[in-house]
Amino acid sequence: MNPILKPIIDGFLNFVPHVKALGMGFRAVGDDWAELTLPYAEHLVAYPGDDGAPGVIASGAIFSLMDSVGGMAVIAKSKRLMQQATLDLRIDYLRPARPGNTVIGRAEVIRQTRAVAFVKGIAHDGDADDPVALMTACYMFTAGAKS
């Protein structure tokens, strides 16, 4: 890993309360991409399965994963911690994640300008060729902005 990124990523995983609350973990980072994990957990389930069967991870939890990994991809591309905010984020929910499987979120910066980063990503539960969700997002750099 790029040594500049390590403390930023460690801080992200250890000190962002919502990231910790959902149990997200680090998987990999590259020049303009990042991967995070969301291990299966009972408190992430949308609704309990029938007859005690494990339920499916909530779409909202996958949204949080993809928002987080998209932000990390922007950091990977920038090589520093920029003040950034999600401008918009779209998720297509292709299929339910398999109960018990860790969901992996991968996001890549397609283009970055001074104001905006354009990011695409997928979520999968083991096989990247069989994704559970697609993500498209824009992040804006907010240094100097009012709100």
Q: Is 43 in the site for another protein (CB under 8 A)?
A: yes
CA distance linking residue 1 with residue 101, whole number of Å: 26
Query: Around Cβ 105, how many Cβ atoms within 10 Å?
Result: 28
Distance CA(131)–CA(95), nearest Å, equals: 8
Total residues contacting another protein by CB under 8 A comes to 35
Span near another protein by CB under 8 A; candidates 1-9, 29-37, 60-68, 116-124: 60-68
Q: How many CB atoms neighbour CB 141 within 10 A? A: 18
Q: In the complex, what is the shortest distance from the CB of residue 12 to another protein, in angstroms, rounded to a whole number?
A: 10
- Residue with smaller CB distance to another protein, 24 or 29: 24
Asked if 61 is part of the footprint of another protein (rule: CB under 8 A), the reply reads yes
**What is the contact mask toward another protein in residues 91 to 120, using x (rule: CB under 8 A)?**
xxx---------------------------
Can you tell me which of 3, 14, 51, 88 binds another protein, judged by CB under 8 A? 88
Question: Pairing mode, if any, of strands 33-38 and 25-29?
Answer: antiparallel
Listed in order, strand segments (DSSP E) in the chain are 25-29, 33-38, 84-93, 103-112, 116-124, 133-141
Which residue bears the tokens 């999600």? 86
| 8 A C-beta contact, residue 20 and residue 10 | no
Closer to another protein at the Cβ: 31 or 56? 56
86 contacts another protein (rule: CB under 8 A): yes
Query: Which residues lie near another protein (CB under 8 A)?
Result: 16-22, 42-48, 55, 57-61, 63-65, 67-68, 85-93, 147
